[in-house]
Structure 1
Protein backbone atom coordinates (compact mmCIF):
# COMPACT_ATOMS: atom_id res chain seq x y z
CA UNK A 1 0.00 0.00 0.00
CA UNK A 2 1.15 3.58 -0.63
CA UNK A 3 0.79 4.37 3.07
CA UNK A 4 3.05 1.52 4.14
CA UNK A 5 5.59 2.30 1.42
CA UNK A 6 5.64 5.89 2.70
CA UNK A 7 6.27 4.77 6.27
CA UNK A 8 8.89 2.30 5.12
CA UNK A 9 10.73 5.11 3.34
CA UNK A 10 10.95 6.91 6.68
CA UNK A 11 12.14 3.78 8.40
CA UNK A 12 8.95 3.58 10.45
CA UNK A 13 7.22 0.30 11.34
CA UNK A 14 3.62 0.75 10.23
CA UNK A 15 0.83 0.90 12.79
CA UNK A 16 -2.12 -1.40 12.27
CA UNK A 17 -5.88 -1.13 12.79
CA UNK A 18 -8.47 -3.89 13.08
CA UNK A 19 -12.22 -3.37 13.20
CA UNK A 20 -14.51 -6.10 14.52
CA UNK A 21 -18.21 -5.77 13.72
CA UNK A 22 -20.81 -6.96 16.22
CA UNK A 23 -22.93 -8.04 13.23
CA UNK A 24 -22.35 -8.19 9.50
CA UNK A 25 -26.04 -7.77 8.59
CA UNK A 26 -28.09 -4.59 9.09
CA UNK A 27 -31.11 -2.77 7.72
CA UNK A 28 -31.40 0.92 6.79
CA UNK A 29 -31.97 2.97 9.96
CA UNK A 30 -30.13 0.47 12.19
CA UNK A 31 -27.07 1.17 14.27
CA UNK A 32 -23.80 -0.56 13.45
CA UNK A 33 -21.66 -1.40 16.50
CA UNK A 34 -18.00 -2.29 16.23
CA UNK A 35 -14.75 -2.51 18.17
CA UNK A 36 -11.67 -0.73 16.82
CA UNK A 37 -8.19 -1.81 17.88
CA UNK A 38 -5.19 0.34 16.99
CA UNK A 39 -1.75 -1.24 17.35
CA UNK A 40 1.49 0.72 17.31
CA UNK A 41 4.43 -0.13 15.06
CA UNK A 42 8.11 -0.19 15.90
CA UNK A 43 8.43 3.51 16.78
CA UNK A 44 6.30 6.28 18.29
CA UNK A 45 4.19 8.08 15.71
CA UNK A 46 1.42 10.68 15.42
CA UNK A 47 -1.60 9.80 13.30
CA UNK A 48 -3.18 12.82 11.68
CA UNK A 49 -6.58 11.20 11.60
CA UNK A 50 -8.44 7.95 12.24
CA UNK A 51 -11.80 7.57 10.55
CA UNK A 52 -14.39 4.87 9.98
CA UNK A 53 -16.58 4.96 6.89
CA UNK A 54 -19.56 3.21 5.38
CA UNK A 55 -18.77 2.75 1.69
CA UNK A 56 -20.52 1.25 -1.34
CA UNK A 57 -19.70 0.21 -4.88
CA UNK A 58 -20.58 3.23 -7.05
CA UNK A 59 -21.32 3.03 -10.75
CA UNK A 60 -18.48 4.30 -12.91
CA UNK A 61 -15.79 4.18 -10.19
CA UNK A 62 -14.50 0.71 -11.05
CA UNK A 63 -12.80 -0.46 -14.24
CA UNK A 64 -14.85 -3.66 -14.52
CA UNK A 65 -18.09 -5.02 -13.10
CA UNK A 66 -16.19 -7.33 -10.77
CA UNK A 67 -13.78 -4.81 -9.22
CA UNK A 68 -14.48 -3.39 -5.76
CA UNK A 69 -11.51 -1.29 -4.83
CA UNK A 70 -12.56 2.33 -5.31
CA UNK A 71 -15.82 2.69 -3.39
CA UNK A 72 -17.85 5.81 -2.76
CA UNK A 73 -18.39 7.08 0.78
CA UNK A 74 -21.91 6.88 2.24
CA UNK A 75 -21.07 8.08 5.76
CA UNK A 76 -17.84 9.01 7.54
CA UNK A 77 -16.97 9.41 11.22
CA UNK A 78 -13.69 10.87 12.49
CA UNK A 79 -12.59 8.83 15.50
CA UNK A 80 -9.55 10.90 16.37
CA UNK A 81 -7.13 13.55 15.13
CA UNK A 82 -3.44 14.06 15.95
CA UNK A 83 -3.36 10.79 17.86
CA UNK A 84 -0.02 9.94 19.47
CA UNK A 85 0.59 6.20 19.20
CA UNK A 86 3.55 4.79 21.10
CA UNK A 87 5.55 1.92 19.69
CA UNK A 88 3.94 -1.43 20.50
CA UNK A 89 0.95 0.12 22.28
CA UNK A 90 -2.58 -1.16 21.71
CA UNK A 91 -5.62 1.11 21.95
CA UNK A 92 -9.21 -0.19 21.96
CA UNK A 93 -12.46 1.66 21.44
CA UNK A 94 -16.12 1.00 20.70
CA UNK A 95 -17.87 2.83 17.86
CA UNK A 96 -21.54 3.17 17.00
CA UNK A 97 -22.51 4.34 13.53
CA UNK A 98 -26.04 5.18 12.40
CA UNK A 99 -26.83 3.41 9.13
CA UNK A 100 -28.49 5.99 6.83
CA UNK A 101 -32.06 5.25 5.83
CA UNK A 102 -30.98 5.62 2.19
CA UNK A 103 -28.17 3.05 2.47
CA UNK A 104 -28.05 0.89 -0.69
CA UNK A 105 -29.53 -2.57 -0.30
CA UNK A 106 -27.40 -5.66 -0.92
CA UNK A 107 -29.99 -8.33 -0.05
CA UNK A 108 -33.75 -8.45 -0.64
CA UNK A 109 -36.72 -10.81 -0.40
CA UNK A 110 -35.51 -12.80 2.57
CA UNK A 111 -31.81 -12.70 1.79
CA UNK A 112 -31.47 -12.81 -1.99
CA UNK A 113 -28.25 -10.98 -3.06
CA UNK A 114 -28.65 -8.06 -5.46
CA UNK A 115 -26.26 -8.20 -8.40
CA UNK A 116 -23.83 -5.27 -8.34
CA UNK A 117 -24.65 -4.17 -4.78
CA UNK A 118 -21.80 -4.12 -2.25
CA UNK A 119 -21.41 -2.20 1.03
CA UNK A 120 -18.57 -2.28 3.54
CA UNK A 121 -17.14 -0.67 6.66
CA UNK A 122 -13.68 0.81 6.09
CA UNK A 123 -11.30 2.06 8.78
CA UNK A 124 -8.56 4.43 7.62
CA UNK A 125 -5.37 5.81 9.14
CA UNK A 126 -3.64 8.91 7.77
CA UNK A 127 -0.21 10.39 8.41
CA UNK A 128 1.54 13.16 6.49
CA UNK A 129 -1.26 13.20 3.89
CA UNK A 130 -0.78 9.50 3.11
CA UNK A 131 -3.73 7.19 3.73
CA UNK A 132 -3.83 3.50 4.62
CA UNK A 133 -7.24 1.85 4.03
CA UNK A 134 -6.44 -0.21 7.12
CA UNK A 135 -9.39 -2.56 7.57
CA UNK A 136 -12.20 -3.34 5.12
CA UNK A 137 -15.22 -5.40 6.22
CA UNK A 138 -18.04 -6.13 3.79
CA UNK A 139 -21.55 -6.18 5.26
CA UNK A 140 -25.05 -7.15 4.17
CA UNK A 141 -27.77 -4.50 4.01
CA UNK A 142 -31.15 -6.21 4.03
CA UNK A 143 -34.35 -4.57 2.81
CA UNK A 144 -36.85 -2.98 5.17
CA UNK A 145 -40.22 -4.79 5.31
CA UNK A 146 -41.86 -2.12 3.13
CA UNK A 147 -39.04 -2.32 0.58
CA UNK A 148 -39.35 -6.09 0.47
CA UNK A 149 -43.13 -5.77 0.08
CA UNK A 150 -42.76 -3.54 -2.98
CA UNK A 151 -40.07 -5.76 -4.46
CA UNK A 152 -42.34 -8.75 -3.85
CA UNK A 153 -45.06 -6.87 -5.72
CA UNK A 154 -42.71 -6.57 -8.70
CA UNK A 155 -41.93 -10.29 -8.45
CA UNK A 156 -45.64 -11.14 -8.25
CA UNK A 157 -46.15 -9.30 -11.55
CA UNK A 158 -43.38 -11.29 -13.24
CA UNK A 159 -40.60 -8.69 -13.21
CA UNK A 160 -37.06 -10.13 -13.18
CA UNK A 161 -34.25 -8.49 -11.25
CA UNK A 162 -31.23 -7.46 -13.29
CA UNK A 163 -28.81 -5.44 -11.14
CA UNK A 164 -28.49 -2.56 -8.71
CA UNK A 165 -26.37 0.56 -9.20
CA UNK A 166 -25.41 3.35 -6.81
CA UNK A 167 -25.02 6.81 -8.31
CA UNK A 168 -23.84 10.17 -7.03
CA UNK A 169 -26.30 13.04 -6.62
CA UNK A 170 -30.06 13.21 -6.16
CA UNK A 171 -32.48 12.02 -8.88
CA UNK A 172 -35.85 13.46 -9.76
CA UNK A 173 -38.30 12.60 -7.01
CA UNK A 174 -35.65 12.52 -4.30
CA UNK A 175 -36.40 15.95 -2.86
CA UNK A 176 -36.78 14.44 0.63
CA UNK A 177 -33.41 12.67 0.51
CA UNK A 178 -30.84 13.61 3.15
CA UNK A 179 -27.84 12.19 1.24
CA UNK A 180 -26.05 12.79 -2.06
CA UNK A 181 -26.35 9.31 -3.57
CA UNK A 182 -29.08 6.94 -4.66
CA UNK A 183 -29.51 3.30 -5.65
CA UNK A 184 -31.35 2.19 -8.76
CA UNK A 185 -32.73 -1.34 -8.86
CA UNK A 186 -33.17 -2.41 -12.47
CA UNK A 187 -35.81 -4.98 -13.45
CA UNK A 188 -36.93 -6.50 -16.74
CA UNK A 189 -40.53 -6.08 -17.84
CA UNK A 190 -42.50 -9.33 -18.23
CA UNK A 191 -43.82 -10.16 -21.74
CA UNK A 192 -47.40 -9.05 -21.03
CA UNK A 193 -46.27 -5.44 -20.75
CA UNK A 194 -45.23 -5.62 -24.42
CA UNK A 195 -41.86 -3.97 -23.82
CA UNK A 196 -39.37 -6.48 -25.30
CA UNK A 197 -35.94 -5.90 -23.84
CA UNK A 198 -37.27 -3.06 -21.67
CA UNK A 199 -36.35 -2.28 -18.08
CA UNK A 200 -37.79 -0.17 -15.30
CA UNK A 201 -35.51 1.54 -12.79
CA UNK A 202 -36.89 1.80 -9.27
CA UNK A 203 -35.49 3.97 -6.47
CA UNK A 204 -36.43 3.86 -2.78
CA UNK A 205 -36.11 6.87 -0.47
CA UNK A 206 -36.67 5.47 3.00
CA UNK A 207 -37.46 7.30 6.23
CA UNK A 208 -38.37 6.21 9.75
CA UNK A 209 -42.12 5.98 9.02
CA UNK A 210 -42.52 5.63 5.25
CA UNK A 211 -40.69 5.40 1.96
CA UNK A 212 -40.98 7.01 -1.44
CA UNK A 213 -40.85 4.98 -4.63
CA UNK A 214 -39.67 6.51 -7.91
CA UNK A 215 -40.19 4.51 -11.11
CA UNK A 216 -38.14 5.84 -14.00
CA UNK A 217 -38.76 9.58 -13.80
CA UNK A 218 -42.19 9.21 -12.15
CA UNK A 219 -42.87 9.86 -8.51
CA UNK A 220 -42.33 10.05 -5.66
CA UNK A 221 -45.13 7.73 -4.51
CA UNK A 222 -45.31 7.35 -0.72
CA UNK A 223 -45.89 4.07 1.13
CA UNK A 224 -46.32 4.11 4.94
CA UNK A 225 -44.83 1.40 7.12
CA UNK A 226 -47.96 1.04 9.24
CA UNK A 227 -50.07 -0.24 6.34
CA UNK A 228 -47.98 -2.78 4.42
CA UNK A 229 -50.31 -4.55 1.99
CA UNK A 230 -48.51 -6.70 -0.58
CA UNK A 231 -51.70 -7.59 -2.48
CA UNK A 232 -52.87 -3.98 -2.57
CA UNK A 233 -49.45 -2.67 -3.51
CA UNK A 234 -49.19 -5.30 -6.26
CA UNK A 235 -52.48 -4.14 -7.75
CA UNK A 236 -51.45 -0.48 -7.54
CA UNK A 237 -48.06 -1.18 -9.09
CA UNK A 238 -49.61 -3.13 -11.96
CA UNK A 239 -52.04 -0.30 -12.76
CA UNK A 240 -49.31 2.34 -12.43
CA UNK A 241 -46.81 0.56 -14.66
CA UNK A 242 -49.39 -0.35 -17.30
CA UNK A 243 -50.70 3.21 -17.52
CA UNK A 244 -47.24 4.79 -17.50
CA UNK A 245 -45.06 2.33 -19.42
CA UNK A 246 -47.41 0.14 -21.50
CA UNK A 247 -46.81 0.33 -25.25
Structure 2
Protein backbone atom coordinates (compact mmCIF):
# COMPACT_ATOMS: atom_id res chain seq x y z
CA UNK A 1 0.00 0.00 0.00
CA UNK A 2 1.74 3.15 -1.19
CA UNK A 3 0.74 6.62 -2.20
CA UNK A 4 2.37 9.29 -4.28
CA UNK A 5 2.44 13.08 -4.19
CA UNK A 6 3.26 14.99 -7.37
CA UNK A 7 4.12 18.64 -7.85
CA UNK A 8 2.11 19.66 -10.88
CA UNK A 9 3.35 23.22 -10.56
CA UNK A 10 6.84 22.01 -11.38
CA UNK A 11 5.79 20.25 -14.57
CA UNK A 12 5.51 16.68 -15.74
CA UNK A 13 9.08 15.89 -14.61
CA UNK A 14 8.38 17.04 -11.05
CA UNK A 15 9.91 15.33 -8.00
CA UNK A 16 7.80 12.65 -6.39
CA UNK A 17 7.53 11.12 -2.91
CA UNK A 18 6.31 7.58 -2.38
CA UNK A 19 5.46 6.60 1.21
CA UNK A 20 5.05 3.00 2.32
CA UNK A 21 3.97 2.25 5.91
CA UNK A 22 5.21 -0.99 7.47
CA UNK A 23 1.55 -2.01 7.85
CA UNK A 24 -1.89 -0.50 7.34
CA UNK A 25 -3.58 -1.98 10.43
CA UNK A 26 -2.61 -0.36 13.73
CA UNK A 27 -3.78 0.00 17.33
CA UNK A 28 -3.65 3.03 19.65
CA UNK A 29 -0.33 3.37 21.42
CA UNK A 30 1.71 1.70 18.67
CA UNK A 31 4.61 3.07 16.66
CA UNK A 32 4.10 2.83 12.88
CA UNK A 33 7.38 2.55 10.94
CA UNK A 34 7.41 3.93 7.41
CA UNK A 35 9.69 4.45 4.46
CA UNK A 36 9.58 7.37 2.04
CA UNK A 37 11.22 7.03 -1.37
CA UNK A 38 11.95 10.38 -3.03
CA UNK A 39 12.94 10.72 -6.68
CA UNK A 40 14.14 13.90 -8.35
CA UNK A 41 12.49 15.35 -11.41
CA UNK A 42 13.95 17.14 -14.39
CA UNK A 43 15.97 19.72 -12.42
CA UNK A 44 17.80 20.14 -9.12
CA UNK A 45 15.55 21.48 -6.35
CA UNK A 46 15.86 22.44 -2.71
CA UNK A 47 13.37 20.50 -0.58
CA UNK A 48 12.58 22.75 2.35
CA UNK A 49 10.58 20.16 4.25
CA UNK A 50 9.49 16.54 3.88
CA UNK A 51 6.74 15.55 6.31
CA UNK A 52 4.51 12.55 6.91
CA UNK A 53 1.36 13.34 8.89
CA UNK A 54 -1.23 11.20 10.63
CA UNK A 55 -4.59 12.77 9.76
CA UNK A 56 -8.19 12.07 10.75
CA UNK A 57 -11.65 13.06 9.62
CA UNK A 58 -13.21 15.63 12.01
CA UNK A 59 -16.95 16.09 11.63
CA UNK A 60 -17.29 19.88 11.94
CA UNK A 61 -14.31 20.53 9.66
CA UNK A 62 -15.92 18.84 6.65
CA UNK A 63 -18.25 20.70 4.26
CA UNK A 64 -20.24 17.55 3.47
CA UNK A 65 -21.70 14.91 5.78
CA UNK A 66 -19.45 12.21 4.33
CA UNK A 67 -16.65 14.56 3.30
CA UNK A 68 -12.93 13.85 3.54
CA UNK A 69 -11.66 17.17 2.27
CA UNK A 70 -10.22 18.87 5.36
CA UNK A 71 -8.30 16.26 7.37
CA UNK A 72 -6.88 17.32 10.72
CA UNK A 73 -3.35 16.46 11.87
CA UNK A 74 -2.85 14.38 15.02
CA UNK A 75 0.82 13.49 14.72
CA UNK A 76 3.66 13.98 12.26
CA UNK A 77 7.27 13.10 11.55
CA UNK A 78 9.67 15.56 9.95
CA UNK A 79 12.18 13.94 7.60
CA UNK A 80 14.32 17.01 7.03
CA UNK A 81 15.40 19.40 4.29
CA UNK A 82 17.86 18.59 1.51
CA UNK A 83 18.96 19.30 -2.02
CA UNK A 84 17.45 16.84 -4.49
CA UNK A 85 19.34 16.49 -7.77
CA UNK A 86 17.58 15.75 -11.04
CA UNK A 87 16.63 12.03 -11.18
CA UNK A 88 18.30 11.40 -7.82
CA UNK A 89 16.72 8.72 -5.65
CA UNK A 90 16.70 8.85 -1.86
CA UNK A 91 15.06 6.78 0.85
CA UNK A 92 14.07 8.06 4.29
CA UNK A 93 13.11 5.97 7.30
CA UNK A 94 10.86 7.18 10.07
CA UNK A 95 7.90 6.34 12.25
CA UNK A 96 4.67 7.93 13.44
CA UNK A 97 3.42 7.45 16.99
CA UNK A 98 -0.25 6.46 17.13
CA UNK A 99 -1.70 8.31 20.16
CA UNK A 100 -3.25 6.23 22.93
CA UNK A 101 -6.52 8.14 22.55
CA UNK A 102 -6.47 7.77 18.76
CA UNK A 103 -9.99 7.76 17.27
CA UNK A 104 -10.90 4.29 16.05
CA UNK A 105 -11.85 3.31 12.51
CA UNK A 106 -12.50 -0.37 13.32
CA UNK A 107 -13.93 -2.34 16.25
CA UNK A 108 -14.56 -6.07 16.51
CA UNK A 109 -12.80 -6.31 13.16
CA UNK A 110 -15.39 -4.17 11.34
CA UNK A 111 -15.23 -0.63 9.98
CA UNK A 112 -17.00 2.13 11.89
CA UNK A 113 -19.25 4.39 9.84
CA UNK A 114 -17.95 7.98 9.74
CA UNK A 115 -14.40 7.17 10.91
CA UNK A 116 -11.41 7.72 8.64
CA UNK A 117 -7.66 7.98 9.17
CA UNK A 118 -4.74 8.28 6.77
CA UNK A 119 -1.09 9.06 6.28
CA UNK A 120 -0.39 12.17 4.23
CA UNK A 121 3.00 13.15 2.82
CA UNK A 122 3.82 16.78 2.04
CA UNK A 123 6.96 18.12 0.39
CA UNK A 124 7.74 21.84 0.38
CA UNK A 125 9.88 23.17 -2.47
CA UNK A 126 10.64 26.87 -2.99
CA UNK A 127 7.82 27.85 -0.62
CA UNK A 128 5.29 25.78 -2.59
CA UNK A 129 3.72 22.98 -0.55
CA UNK A 130 2.16 20.04 -2.30
CA UNK A 131 -1.17 19.31 -0.52
CA UNK A 132 -0.31 15.63 -0.46
CA UNK A 133 -2.19 12.46 -1.12
CA UNK A 134 -3.60 9.96 1.35
CA UNK A 135 -3.38 6.29 1.98
CA UNK A 136 -5.98 5.34 4.52
CA UNK A 137 -5.02 3.11 7.42
CA UNK A 138 -7.20 1.14 9.81
CA UNK A 139 -7.06 1.93 13.53
CA UNK A 140 -8.38 -1.11 15.40
CA UNK A 141 -9.80 -1.10 18.91
CA UNK A 142 -7.72 -2.25 21.85
CA UNK A 143 -9.15 -5.24 23.79
CA UNK A 144 -10.79 -2.97 26.39
CA UNK A 145 -12.50 -1.02 23.60
CA UNK A 146 -13.57 -4.15 21.71
CA UNK A 147 -15.07 -5.39 24.99
CA UNK A 148 -17.19 -2.24 25.17
CA UNK A 149 -18.49 -2.70 21.62
CA UNK A 150 -19.29 -6.34 22.38
CA UNK A 151 -21.20 -5.31 25.51
CA UNK A 152 -23.29 -2.84 23.51
CA UNK A 153 -24.05 -5.54 20.95
CA UNK A 154 -24.92 -8.14 23.61
CA UNK A 155 -27.39 -5.71 25.19
CA UNK A 156 -29.08 -5.13 21.83
CA UNK A 157 -27.74 -1.64 21.05
CA UNK A 158 -27.27 -0.78 17.35
CA UNK A 159 -24.11 1.04 16.38
CA UNK A 160 -24.95 4.12 14.27
CA UNK A 161 -21.88 6.28 13.66
CA UNK A 162 -18.50 7.41 14.97
CA UNK A 163 -17.83 11.16 14.91
CA UNK A 164 -14.63 12.95 15.88
CA UNK A 165 -15.27 16.32 17.48
CA UNK A 166 -12.80 19.15 17.95
CA UNK A 167 -13.37 19.90 21.61
CA UNK A 168 -12.44 18.89 25.12
CA UNK A 169 -14.50 16.62 27.34
CA UNK A 170 -11.90 16.53 30.06
CA UNK A 171 -13.99 15.81 33.16
CA UNK A 172 -11.35 13.55 34.74
CA UNK A 173 -8.42 15.50 33.29
CA UNK A 174 -7.28 12.53 31.21
CA UNK A 175 -7.77 13.98 27.73
CA UNK A 176 -4.59 15.08 25.94
CA UNK A 177 -5.69 15.55 22.33
CA UNK A 178 -7.85 18.46 21.18
CA UNK A 179 -10.19 15.91 19.59
CA UNK A 180 -12.40 13.18 20.96
CA UNK A 181 -14.56 10.52 19.33
CA UNK A 182 -18.28 10.20 19.99
CA UNK A 183 -19.78 6.76 19.39
CA UNK A 184 -23.50 6.77 18.68
CA UNK A 185 -25.64 3.75 19.56
CA UNK A 186 -29.37 3.24 19.08
CA UNK A 187 -31.18 2.03 22.20
CA UNK A 188 -32.83 -1.39 22.22
CA UNK A 189 -36.56 -1.42 23.03
CA UNK A 190 -35.92 -2.80 26.53
CA UNK A 191 -34.79 0.62 27.73
CA UNK A 192 -37.91 2.45 26.50
CA UNK A 193 -35.79 5.08 24.82
CA UNK A 194 -36.18 6.34 21.24
CA UNK A 195 -33.05 8.48 20.92
CA UNK A 196 -29.40 7.48 20.67
CA UNK A 197 -26.78 7.14 23.38
CA UNK A 198 -23.62 9.12 22.60
CA UNK A 199 -20.64 7.53 24.31
CA UNK A 200 -17.22 9.16 24.51
CA UNK A 201 -14.39 6.91 25.63
CA UNK A 202 -11.04 8.57 26.37
CA UNK A 203 -8.04 6.25 26.64
CA UNK A 204 -5.14 8.69 26.91
CA UNK A 205 -3.15 6.17 28.96
CA UNK A 206 -2.74 2.41 28.59
CA UNK A 207 -4.04 1.74 32.11
CA UNK A 208 -7.14 3.97 32.33
CA UNK A 209 -10.45 4.50 30.56
CA UNK A 210 -12.66 7.57 30.97
CA UNK A 211 -16.27 6.94 29.99
CA UNK A 212 -18.59 9.88 29.24
CA UNK A 213 -22.14 8.73 28.41
CA UNK A 214 -23.92 11.62 26.73
CA UNK A 215 -24.05 14.58 29.08
CA UNK A 216 -24.51 12.51 32.23
CA UNK A 217 -21.25 12.69 34.12
CA UNK A 218 -17.92 10.99 33.67
CA UNK A 219 -16.63 7.67 34.99
CA UNK A 220 -13.00 6.61 35.36
CA UNK A 221 -11.98 2.95 35.28
CA UNK A 222 -8.75 1.01 35.13
CA UNK A 223 -8.40 -0.84 31.85
CA UNK A 224 -7.87 -4.17 33.60
CA UNK A 225 -11.29 -4.13 35.26
CA UNK A 226 -13.28 -3.74 32.03
CA UNK A 227 -13.86 -7.06 30.28
CA UNK A 228 -17.08 -7.82 28.38
CA UNK A 229 -18.94 -8.89 31.52
CA UNK A 230 -17.90 -5.77 33.44
CA UNK A 231 -18.80 -3.47 30.56
CA UNK A 232 -22.18 -5.20 30.14
CA UNK A 233 -23.03 -4.98 33.82
CA UNK A 234 -22.01 -1.33 34.14
CA UNK A 235 -23.74 -0.23 30.93
CA UNK A 236 -26.97 -2.02 31.77
CA UNK A 237 -27.02 -0.64 35.34
CA UNK A 238 -26.28 2.86 34.07
CA UNK A 239 -29.06 2.84 31.47
CA UNK A 240 -31.61 1.38 33.85
CA UNK A 241 -30.78 3.93 36.51
CA UNK A 242 -31.48 6.80 34.09
CA UNK A 243 -34.19 5.40 31.82
CA UNK A 244 -37.07 3.18 32.78
CA UNK A 245 -37.04 -0.31 31.31
Structure 1 length-normalised TM: 0.90
Q: 1:208-247 to 2 correspondence within 5 Å?
A: 208-246=206-244
Whole-angstrom distance in 1 between the partners of 2:107 and 2:35: 27
Residues 128, 169 of structure 1: CA spacing in aligned structure 2 closer, same or farther, 3 A cutoff?
farther
Pairwise CA RMSD: 2.0
> Per the alignment, in what secondary structure is the counterpart of residue 80 of structure 1?
coil
The equivalent residue for 1:106 is 105
> Per the alignment, in what secondary structure is the counterpart of residue 156 of structure 2?
coil
Whether 1:29 and 2:14 are equivalent positions in the alignment is: no
- Is the CA contact (8 Å cut-off) linking 2:147 and 2:226 kept in structure 1? yes
Shift of 1:133: 3.2
Q: 1:195-206 to 2 correspondence within 5 Å?
A: 195-196=193-194, 198-206=195-203
The equivalent residue for 1:173 is 171
Whole-angstrom distance in 1 between the partners of 2:78 and 2:215: 36
Give 4+ residue runs of structure 1 displaced > 4 Å after superposition.
none
Whole-angstrom distance in 2 between the partners of 1:172 and 1:218: 13
The equivalent residue for 2:96 is 97
Shift of 1:208: 1.4
Whole-angstrom distance in 1 between the partners of 2:135 and 2:147: 29
- Is the CA contact (8 Å cut-off) linking 2:58 and 2:71 kept in structure 1? yes
The equivalent residue for 2:3 is none
- Is the CA contact (8 Å cut-off) linking 2:46 and 2:126 kept in structure 1? no
Whole-angstrom distance in 1 between the partners of 2:145 and 2:220: 12
The equivalent residue for 1:13 is 13
Q: How many residues align?
A: 240
Residues 219, 147 of structure 1: CA spacing in aligned structure 2 closer, same or farther, 3 A cutoff?
farther
Listed as ranges, the gaps of 5+ residues in structure 2 are 1-5
The equivalent residue for 2:57 is 57
Q: Could you list the per-position Cα deviations for residues 158-199 of structure 1 after superposition, in whole angstroms to 9, with x for gaps in the alignment?
A: 110000111112125362111111111111111121112x01
